Amino acid sequence: MEDIPSLASLLGQLFEQEAEFTADYDLQKSGLEMILSNPNVGEIMVAEGPEGQVIGMVSLLFTISTALGGKAALLEDMIVHPDFRGKGCGSLLVGAAMKLARTQGCKRITLLTDFNDLAAEKFYQKHGFKLSPMVPLRQLLG
């Protein structure tokens, strides 16, 4: 829980670069607290820099897939501080998320990335993710 301010700050950086979301420290803090207070909801993996500072994160949220008859995961909020990109930190985080999903018995990991973010798309494909013919639709309820 002591990492929440650093994690919320990282999420602010992520949401500033995503087309659909807006950074809001208090909302990000609240969402992080909800995940960290209930491991059944999901887990957050953190990467630390050489001085112990938080430099990256990924969250893995759990759900059930009726199509696969078991637990599934949603890889959310993957971000590495710009000063530490290109050094393998993101790959370590994705690898840790995939390992956690397997140990949790998940049968699938799904993630969303911006439609026009080809660098992110290539990054995830390098780690075995494939484009899906499914199209996400959203309706905000708040």
**Structural domain of residue 66, as residue ranges?**
39-126
Domain assignment present for 25:
no
Domain assignment present for 105:
yes
Question: pLDDT per residue over 60-92, tens digit each?
Answer: 999 999 999 999 999 999 999 999 999 999 999
Domain assignment present for 139:
no
Domain assignment present for 59:
yes
pLDDT value, residue 20: 83
Question: pLDDT per residue over 50-68, tens digit each?
Answer: 999 999 999 999 999 999 9
Domain assignment present for 79:
yes
The domain that contains 75 carries what CATH number? 3.40.630.30
Question: pLDDT per residue over 38-51, tens digit each?
Answer: 999 999 999 999 99
Domain assignment present for 141:
no
Question: pLDDT per residue over 118-128, tens digit each?
Answer: 999 999 999 99
How buried is 76 (Cβ within 10 angstroms: 0-12 exposed, 13-18 middle, 19+ buried)? buried
pLDDT value, residue 48: 95
> Is this model's pTM higher than 0.75 or not?
yes
Domain assignment present for 77:
yes
